[in-house]
């Protein structure tokens, strides 16, 4: 089947604000001038938002499984980005016996449509891979047709990305990516500013998220209906908990209220409608409603070594603690060091296989994905992306 088209030529000046030809040569570009598709670097001194809306027409697990079928084409800079997005859009999955388009993708300037799932990617992630991870990180793995707004943290190469992450972690300086993420979160709050909003950050994106969340009160915005999940975090557990509570407006709340919000998603504790004696009901409520989740594999190099999770038990990774962060576990330093090679050479290392991106979660009855040829999307047709 033919998927919805994207006009890549029309994106010049639209995806990342006005394009400076001089910056293109010295910073970052995807594709060529001949193909009329350029993605400029997110300059940290410029308040320009660039983002993607990605919709999964099936379940997150099915869409993640379909994307895995593209193998090393994902995140492959030797293939033009427009081609990789085409490949994603042409993937098909089975739904009730019918093959349907797995992903629908729009390239936008901001979260003007108030999408309530906000994703922030880590370093060295091209947009195609970041979008797949965003869908795979959604809390609800059963509902079809979910979408996410990717507040894209542009990759500018190994050295630049590492330097930026070092600054984010050690100086927490506001930057264009953090400001863009904050603006996306505020937009997600809707007219009353209190809509249930989910923030999903991966790897170095968790450092950007911390800065964005901590900036929200300064921007005059807090939302107790905010939910914050970190995956393979470069952030420490304590930094995430503090940032999430700050953004929820609970940084000065009584400790019991903070504990209840972190675990149950509200200051009053487990709602009366949930049977406290039904462990499955309690687990489901916490999974979908907890204020914060910190998902780290014990052998995840980033979460262990950069997130300072060196194997000790603490109040955030102890399941018996009242402020346990859902998904947190003790890191294993030796195994995390051994995982370094896989981190940089594979797309399914311990650092990337979280939630529905984990093959262990994939359904066994899904028909194998059928990638169509990339040529089915004409470049001269326009996608219905939003322009502010």
- For the segment 299-305, the average pLDDT, to the nearest whole number, is 95
- For the segment 113-117, the average pLDDT, to the nearest whole number, is 95
**Is the CB of residue 235 less than 8 Å from the CB of residue 209?**
yes
**Is the CB of residue 37 less than 8 Å from the CB of residue 108?**
no
**Is the CB of residue 153 less than 8 Å from the CB of residue 85?**
no
pLDDT digits (tens, 9 = 90+) for 50-64: 789 999 999 999 999
Band of residue 166 on the pLDDT scale cut at 50, 70, 90: low
Give residue 105's pLDDT.
94
CATH code for the structural domain at 48-248+291-369:
3.40.50
What does the alpha-carbon distance between residue 328 and residue 325 come to, in Å, rounded to a whole number?
6
Band of residue 8 on the pLDDT scale cut at 50, 70, 90: very low
- For the segment 379-387, the average pLDDT, to the nearest whole number, is 28
Q: What angle do helix axes 279-289 and 255-264 make, rounded to 10 degrees?
A: 100
Give residue 96's pLDDT.
80
In the numeric block, which tokens belong to residue 303? 């979460």
Ranges 26-40, 128-142, 266-280, 334-348: which has the least confidence = 26-40
Give residue 344's pLDDT.
84
Q: What angle do helix axes 60-68 and 127-136 make, rounded to 10 degrees?
A: 140
- For the segment 220-239, the average pLDDT, to the nearest whole number, is 96
Query: What is the C-alpha radius of gyration for the chain, rounded to an integer number of angstroms?
Result: 20
Give start and end residues of each alpha helix (H) in 104-254.
127-136, 158-171, 176-188, 205-215, 237-247
According to DSSP, the residues that pair with 92 across neighbouring strands are 101
Looking at per-residue pLDDT, the higher value among 65 and 12 belongs to 65
**Is the CB of residue 290 less than 8 Å from the CB of residue 326?**
yes
Structural domain spans, the chain: 48-248+291-369
Torsion of CA 206, 45, 386, 69, to 10 degrees: -40
**Is the CB of residue 263 less than 8 Å from the CB of residue 322?**
yes
Give residue 251's pLDDT.
94
Give residue 374's pLDDT.
39
Give residue 97's pLDDT.
83
- pLDDT of 18 over the 50 cut: no
Band of residue 117 on the pLDDT scale cut at 50, 70, 90: very high
**Is the CB of residue 57 less than 8 Å from the CB of residue 92?**
no
Band of residue 156 on the pLDDT scale cut at 50, 70, 90: low
- For the segment 297-302, the average pLDDT, to the nearest whole number, is 95
Give residue 384's pLDDT.
29
- For the segment 21-42, the average pLDDT, to the nearest whole number, is 31
Q: How high does pLDDT run on average in the chain? A: 80
What does the alpha-carbon distance between residue 227 and residue 294 come to, in Å, rounded to a whole number?
11
Give residue 364's pLDDT.
62
- For the segment 137-156, the average pLDDT, to the nearest whole number, is 90
% of the chain with per-residue pLDDT over 70: 76
Q: Which long-range contacts (CB under 8 A, 24 or more apart) does 187-193 make?
A: 187/110, 187/111, 187/112, 187/114, 188/111, 188/114, 188/115, 188/116, 188/118, 188/149, 189/114, 189/221, 189/223, 190/114, 193/221, 193/223
Q: What is the pTM of this model?
A: 0.82
Give residue 59's pLDDT.
94
- For the segment 15-28, the average pLDDT, to the nearest whole number, is 30
- pLDDT of 94 over the 90 cut: no
Give start and end residues of each alpha helix (H) in 248-332.
255-264, 279-289, 301
- pLDDT of 10 over the 50 cut: no
* CA-to-CA separations, 209 to 147, 165, 235, 241, 242, in angstroms, rounded: 19, 12, 9, 12, 12
Ranges 66-70, 87-91, 373-377: which has the least confidence = 373-377
- pLDDT of 44 over the 60 cut: no
Ranges 150-164, 197-211, 330-344: which has the least confidence = 150-164
According to DSSP, the residues that pair with 192 across neighbouring strands are none
In the numeric block, which tokens belong to residue 69? 């079928």
């Amino acid at each position: 089947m033919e998927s919805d088209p994207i006009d890549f030529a029309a994106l010049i000046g639209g995806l990342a604000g006005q394009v400076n030809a001089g910056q293109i040569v010295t910073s970052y570009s995807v594709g060529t001038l001949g193909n009329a598709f350029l993605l400029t670097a997110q300059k940290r001194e410029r308040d320009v938002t660039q983002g993607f809306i990605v919709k999964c027409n099936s379940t997150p697990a099915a869409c993640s499984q379909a994307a895995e079928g593209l193998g090393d084409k994902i995140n492959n800079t030797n293939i033009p980005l427009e081609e990789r997005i085409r490949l994603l859009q042409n993937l098909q999955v089975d739904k009730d016996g019918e093959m349907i388009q797995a992903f629908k993708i729009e390239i936008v300037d901001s979260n003007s449509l108030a999408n309530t799932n906000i994703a922030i990617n880590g370093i060295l992630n091209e947009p195609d891979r970041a979008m797949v991870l965003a869908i795979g990180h959604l809390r609800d793995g059963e509902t079809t047709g979910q979408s996410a707004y990717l507040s894209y943290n542009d990759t500018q190469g190994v050295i630049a990305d590492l330097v930026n992450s070092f600054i984010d972690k050690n100086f927490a300086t506001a930057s264009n990516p953090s400001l863009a993420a904050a603006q996306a979160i505020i937009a997600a709050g809707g007219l009353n500013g209190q809509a249930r909003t989910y923030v999903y950050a991966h790897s170095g994106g968790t450092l950007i998220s911390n800065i964005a969340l901590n900036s929200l009160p300064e921007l005059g915005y807090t939302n107790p209906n905010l939910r914050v999940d970190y995956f393979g975090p470069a952030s420490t557990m304590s930094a995430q908990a503090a940032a999430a509570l700050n953004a929820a407006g609970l940084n000065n709340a009584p400790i019991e209220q903070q504990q209840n919000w972190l675990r149950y998603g509200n200051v009053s504790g487990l709602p009366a409608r949930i049977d406290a004696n039904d462990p499955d009901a309690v687990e489901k409520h916490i999974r979908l409603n907890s204020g914060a989740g910190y998902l780290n594999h014990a052998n995840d190099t980033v979460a262990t070594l950069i997130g300072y999770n060196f194997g000790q038990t603490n109040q955030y990774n102890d399941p018996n603690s009242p402020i346990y962060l859902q998904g947190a576990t003790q890191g294993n330093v030796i195994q995390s060091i051994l995982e370094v090679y896989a981190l940089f050479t594979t797309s399914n290392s311990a650092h990337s296989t979280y939630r529905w991106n984990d093959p262990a979660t994939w359904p066994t009855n899904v028909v194998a994905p059928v990638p169509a040829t990339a040529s089915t999307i004409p470049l001269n047709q326009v996608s219905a992306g939003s322009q502010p």
